[in-house]
Amino acid sequence: MINGVVKWFDTKRGYGFISADDGNDVFVHFSQVKERQGDKELHEGESVAFDIVQKGKGPQAINVEKM
């Protein structure tokens, strides 16, 4: 898994970006956030761990876990 910090996340639209530790920005969709104590929302500055898959529009975070 890769570590990073939530750069921004729009809860109404259900997506945002994570700034990975290597400096790259990675797209994240609400559907890929693992629920933790009933909470799936991501917040700016929050630490996360995730895997990356390559999609047509670039890298996307999957299996996103709050730390």
Q: Please write down the HEC assignment for all residues of 23-34.
A: CCEEEEEHHHEC
Domain topology for 2-66:
OB fold (Dihydrolipoamide Acetyltransferase, E2P) (2.40.50)
For residues 4 and 47, what is the distance between their CA atoms, to the nearest angstrom? 6
Residue 46, SS3 per DSSP: coil
Best CA proximity match to 18, nearest among 57, 56, 55, 46: 46
Q: Per-residue pLDDT tens, the chain, 67 aa: give them.
A: 999 999 999 999 999 999 999 999 999 999 999 988 778 889 999 999 999 999 888 999 999 999 9
Q: Which residue has the tokens 């990356």?
A: 52
